[in-house]
Structure 1
Amino acid sequence: MRDDDTSGPARPGTPREPRRRRPLRALAAGIGVLALLGVLALGGYAFYLQRTVEGNIEREDLNAQDDATVTISPDRFGTTQPDDDPDAEGSVDLDGPVETDEEGTAPIVGEDGEAVDVGESEFQAQTPARPAEAGEAQNFLIIGSDSRDLSVERGRSDVIVLMHINDERDRVDLVHFPRDLFVPIAGTGGSSKINAAYAYGGAPLLVQTLQPLVDVPIDHVVVVNFQSFQAMTDSIGGVDVNVAEASPGFPAGVMHMDGATGLEFVRERYALSQGDISRGQRQQAFIQGIMTKALSRETLTNPARLARFVDAATTNLTVDADLQVGEMRDLGFQMRGVRGGDIHFETAPWSGIENHPVAGSIVVMAQDQMATLSEHLKNDTMEDYTDPVSPRSGFGG
């Protein structure tokens, strides 16, 4: 981290004001893209890194904008109903709420409260207007998938993050959307857990589901899988993680983790006090550790370690067809002053966890606070955003 209070080098003609800093809170996913953006601008070494990235990344039609056709096609996992047995495997004791089967997709729920039979269908994508107040701020949707090969299966979206890069290119906000957040699913006429959008229509349907919530256009989409997550950790010699809530095998306190241990750490939820929300907090803590290590002088001044990290970060990285490496490089150059303290972490606002009779255990969205988040994203004023609504303990109302 830098020692001063000001941001990195400004683009020509852009005034620069001192920024207030907030404590670094971590959030799941995004490290692959942040590594890609942050290290491509390192002088003469950039050419080698760009060639590595070009050779590693895959491209797919992940985004859906400007009247593109979005196809709804339920995945091979099918749908499941909530488990009636609170002691069954896959459930968590929340004094009421129970989880749906981990291998299933939450059903779509209509306005009448009944499950909707969703078959093959298509609809035309719509894109929110880009407010003038946002300038050249950019929004990336980052998806953490358990698929080994997106061309064969889309897998499940265990991690959903909106990355907002501000107009001045000196601040990054990562907004984590809990996978069980209950929201309207675009094109279906019903609602479900937000990760069901990915299951029913891949990244394009998730884009169309997320955009109305935040009311800003999603410029690019990135999918990273858990093999990449593990490889990145090992490429920099493991990371130190603050374990705030103990669980079997993970005592409270600072713990050094390699990739395999970290993967186990971030996927746990049943032994944690707030279930899926607590898991998100664990993912945040792990990303805090990996970001601190990846952006440290120890890594950035070590060409061999840096090369291993970039290779690991991009080997299992899939981006939308319109995102070119040259654009990544240019964005990385504009963001060359960004360090760990310039990356900020939020969770999409929620008001409680409930047991839905059809969808199972859901995270209830705090709609008024979501509108507040939307305004700050639209106006590029995330430095002023606060969330006094989301419960900090327990399961809310």
Structure 2
Amino acid sequence: MICVLVPLILVGAGVIAGGLYLRHVEGKVDRVDAFTQIPEANRPQKDAAAGKAINFLLLGSDTRDPDNLGGSRSDTIIIMHLNKDQSAAQLISIPRDTWTYIPKSANGQHGDTNSKINASYAWGGIPLVVQTVETYTGVRIDHVALVDFAGFKEIVDALGGVDIDVETSFTSTHSLSGAGGKRHFDAGPQTMDGAAALDYARERYSFKDGDFARIRHQQQVIKAILDKASSGGTLSSPAKINGFLQATTDTVSVDKSLNLLSMATQLRHLRSGNLNFYTSPSKGTGMIGNQSVVLPDKTKTKALFDAVRRDDTATIEKLGTESKSK
């Protein structure tokens, strides 16, 4: 998220002042070692046709989720593909219950088995998530950003709320501050504060399609944050800019090789209108043993991520739209 949002600050501030400020901000962002534990021989290589395209792995961990009883797991997994001319990006969500092969962890104590994809985070941290996603997709990951949803509320509140069009009325099964531990959402456009946006983005039990609805809502909220962060009301207010970035740096970690200032300059023209959101193709849900899992459509998944690897934007959008419509 910060990789996409930080460039907006350069629009509202002078290049020199903005650059100095971003260096200060960059120094406050936590860094993680995402790649050194992964054997290079096991990693996919970049396709020459992709040129300067960049692949980000965006991870979200909902440590305050009342349903998260199995230790640290990555509840949100998104590949963000920035095309080679850096004019647009495609964000592809991988459902957290996707059943797939997880390589052996660096300590040799876990993995080398099939499981839900988000188990990789508990078994080997970010490096094993990267290796698992690269194995699943065949796409080489260039950078990683991790957001803790415990700080998600503060990011939205720093922006003064976000505008969301709720697709259907529902009552959440858990709530940060709703009446009786629940919160009701009416269908239609509305402005949500941080607590409401988090309740909206985490809910899945109220919908027939469960985690797929949750993914759609997370994508809505990401877009809404980008829209609000790039709005004139935010960019014209130094207090809002500062509050937003302070909240973001308290919540986001990135890999050690990511230069935020350089990336900000590269992405300074990117806006939510240049982003398309998709979900990795699946055949729906099923049971493996006593676990409810998402069953990947291996043929369509391979075709979609082969297009990502080649930076074939037209094919990504065609296959992604077909998957979304189903």
Which ranges of structure 1 fall in alignment gaps of 5 or more residues? 1-30, 69-124, 149-153
**For 1:366, which of 290, 297, 303 is the aligned residue?**
297
Contact 1:214–1:377 (CA under 8 A) maintained in structure 2: no
For 2:10 and 2:33, how far apart are their aligned partners in 1? 24
**For 1:342, which of 252, 258, 274 is the aligned residue?**
274
**For 2:156, which of 209, 227, 233 is the aligned residue?**
233
For 2:315 and 2:9, how far apart are their aligned partners in 1? 28
TM-score (norm 1): 0.70
Corresponding position of 2:25 = 53
Larger Rg: 1
Shift of residue 181 of structure 1? 0.9
Call closer, same or farther: CA 1:214–1:177 in 2, change over 3 Å.
same
Contact 1:181–1:363 (CA under 8 A) maintained in structure 2: yes
For 2:97 and 2:168, how far apart are their aligned partners in 1? 21
- AA at the equivalent of 1:234: D
Corresponding position of 2:231 = 296
For 2:23 and 2:240, how far apart are their aligned partners in 1? 16
Corresponding position of 1:62 = 34
For 1:64 and 1:195, how far apart are their aligned partners in 2? 20
Corresponding position of 1:102 = none
For 2:222 and 2:324, how far apart are their aligned partners in 1? 22
Corresponding position of 2:54 = 138
Contact 2:57–2:80 (CA under 8 A) maintained in structure 1: yes
- The structure in which a higher percent of residues are helix is 2
**For 1:173, which of 90, 94, 102 is the aligned residue?**
90
1:162 maps onto 2:79 in alignment: yes
Call closer, same or farther: CA 1:316–1:33 in 2, change over 3 Å.
same
Corresponding position of 2:194 = 259
Shift of residue 296 of structure 1? 1.8
Contact 1:143–1:223 (CA under 8 A) maintained in structure 2: yes
Corresponding position of 2:287 = 355
For 1:384 and 1:40, how far apart are their aligned partners in 2? 32
Secondary structure of the corresponding residue to residue 39 of structure 1: helix
Call closer, same or farther: CA 1:45–1:231 in 2, change over 3 Å.
farther
- Name the count of aligned residue pairs: 299
**For 2:306, which of 368, 375, 381 is the aligned residue?**
375
- AA at the equivalent of 1:342: N
For 2:192 and 2:17, how far apart are their aligned partners in 1? 29
Contact 1:158–1:195 (CA under 8 A) maintained in structure 2: yes
Call closer, same or farther: CA 1:343–1:39 in 2, change over 3 Å.
farther
Contact 1:49–1:307 (CA under 8 A) maintained in structure 2: no
**For 1:314, which of 249, 260, 278 is the aligned residue?**
249
Secondary structure of the corresponding residue to residue 329 of structure 1: helix
- AA at the equivalent of 2:297: A
Contact 1:64–1:208 (CA under 8 A) maintained in structure 2: no
* Residues 280-331 of structure 1: CA deviation (Å, up to 9, x unaligned): 11111222222211122222232221222122112222122222xxx22122
* Residues 143-187 of structure 1: CA deviation (Å, up to 9, x unaligned): 111359xxxxx8221111111111111112211111011111112
- AA at the equivalent of 2:29: I
Contact 1:232–1:259 (CA under 8 A) maintained in structure 2: yes
Secondary structure of the corresponding residue to residue 49 of structure 1: helix
For 1:303 and 1:65, how far apart are their aligned partners in 2? 40
For 1:176 and 1:37, how far apart are their aligned partners in 2? 23
Secondary structure of the corresponding residue to residue 300 of structure 2: helix
- AA at the equivalent of 1:282: H
Shift of residue 199 of structure 1? 1.2
* Residues 337-372 of structure 1: CA deviation (Å, up to 9, x unaligned): 1122111111111111112224x1111101111111
Secondary structure of the corresponding residue to residue 221 of structure 1: strand
Contact 1:52–1:311 (CA under 8 A) maintained in structure 2: no
- AA at the equivalent of 2:9: V
Of stretches 336-345 and 297-306 in structure 1, the one that deviates more from structure 2 is 297-306
For 2:153 and 2:223, how far apart are their aligned partners in 1? 15
**For 1:39, which of 2, 6, 9 is the aligned residue?**
9
**For 1:199, which of 115, 119, 122 is the aligned residue?**
122
Shift of residue 205 of structure 1? 0.7
For 2:29 and 2:324, how far apart are their aligned partners in 1? 38
Contact 1:63–1:221 (CA under 8 A) maintained in structure 2: no
Contact 2:38–2:127 (CA under 8 A) maintained in structure 1: no
TM-score (norm 2): 0.85
Contact 1:366–1:390 (CA under 8 A) maintained in structure 2: no
**Root-mean-square deviation (Å):** 2.2
1:329 maps onto 2:234 in alignment: no
Secondary structure of the corresponding residue to residue 101 of structure 2: strand
* Residues 221-255 of structure 1: CA deviation (Å, up to 9, x unaligned): 11111133211111111011011122110111112
* Residues 65-105 of structure 1: CA deviation (Å, up to 9, x unaligned): 7626xxxxxxxxxxxxxxxxxxxxxxxxxxxxxxxxxxxxx
- AA at the equivalent of 1:380: D
Which ranges of structure 2 fall in alignment gaps of 5 or more residues? 65-70, 105-110, 172-183
Shift of residue 257 of structure 1? 0.5
Corresponding position of 2:178 = none
Shift of residue 130 of structure 1? 0.9
Identity %: 36
